[in-house]
Amino acid sequence: MSVDLERRERIAILTLNRPDALNALSVEMLDDLDGHLNSLENDPEIRALVLTGAGERAFTAGADINHMREATPLEARQYARRGHAVTNRLENFPKPVIAAVNGYALGGGCELALACDIRLASEKAQFGLPEVNIGILPGWGGTQRMARATSPGFAKELIFTGRRVTADEARATGLANHVYPHDELMDRAVALAEEIATKPPWAIAAAKEVVNLALEGDLQGHLARELDAFALAFTTEDQREGMAAFFEKRTPEFRGR
């Protein structure tokens, strides 16, 4: 299993477990995560979830670039749809999901965290949408959810530059609710999940559903536009150059074609 599931009385801890690749999200991991969500959704004992990354360095460094490197636009769109399915599911999951961001949350990893209800960050956390550095754009909801969690201007700065933000900046911009010393993060996340698990589950599920509506404004329609724009990026030479440069550990040269 590349995503571990631990049940602790009324809460469940999901751990993305591929630390050698900074927990980059392969299709298998998305399938695993989905499978766990199936069992947790129908388990009346479980009332709140914590999502985190294995190892000391990453929550997750995003979608698996290996998987995208040679992708055709249609394959890229399919992979992006897979990510949309999981992020939409987390956002609409009938139990609260807390992201315990223990390191890098980049690209699809940041987008996964953005689909969670509450983000807690360790002092080592770094958030970012660095897709432009590899010749593409965010494709798992980041164009929409970063703007909604922070502001359109801040989202555009992050998306246009690909720069990473620290945990403190994440908290200041609304991207993270709280920042904790690295070694305390999981205890804090578990304590918050346990506190929420003492509340009435129906009221919590209903509140989540209604708060989500506060930011609605045709999210699904805008996500469909994101999918098409993401797939179109795979018609460009810049996408091939960006991803080749990543694995060759050099700076890409983007030519605008």
| Cα 2 from Cα 4, distance rounded (Å) | 6
Q: How far is the CB of 197 from ligand CO8 (least distance, A)?
A: 31
Among 29, 50, 54, 63, binds ligand CO8 (CB under 6 A): 63
| Cα 255 from Cα 36, distance rounded (Å) | 43
Task: Enumerate residues 6+ apart whose C-beta is below 8 A from 182.
Answer: 102, 122, 123, 124
Among 13, 24, 90, 101, binds ligand CO8 (CB under 6 A): 24
Q: Is 106 in the site for ligand CO8 (CB under 6 A)?
A: yes
37-66 burial, b at 16+ Cβ within 10 Å, e below that, comes to beebeeeeebbbbbbbbbbeebbbbbbbbe
Q: Is 233 in the site for ligand CO8 (CB under 6 A)?
A: no
Residue 100 · residue 52 · CB < 8 Å:
yes
Q: Is 53 in the site for ligand CO8 (CB under 6 A)?
A: no
Q: Is 103 in the site for ligand CO8 (CB under 6 A)?
A: no
- CA-to-CA dists, residue 33 to 36, 176, 183, angstroms: 5, 22, 25
- Of these residues, 9, 28, 41, 111, which one is catalytic? 111
Q: Is 114 in the site for ligand CO8 (CB under 6 A)?
A: no
Q: How far is the CB of 19 from ligand CO8 (least distance, A)?
A: 9
Among 108, 135, 242, 252, binds ligand CO8 (CB under 6 A): 108
Q: How far is the CB of 133 from ligand CO8 (least distance, A)?
A: 6
- Which residue, 47 or 164, has its beta carbon nearer to ligand CO8? 164
Instruction: Indicate if 111 belongs to the active site.
Output: yes
| Cα 100 from Cα 74, distance rounded (Å) | 33
Q: Which of residues 117-136 bind ligand CO8 (CB under 6 A)?
A: 130-131, 134
Q: Is 59 in the site for ligand CO8 (CB under 6 A)?
A: no
Q: Is 104 in the site for ligand CO8 (CB under 6 A)?
A: yes
Instruction: Indicate if 131 belongs to the active site.
Output: yes
Which residues are designated catalytic?
111, 131
Q: Which residues lie near ligand CO8 (CB under 6 A)? A: 21-22, 24, 61-66, 68, 76, 79-80, 83, 104, 106-108, 130-131, 134, 138-140, 230
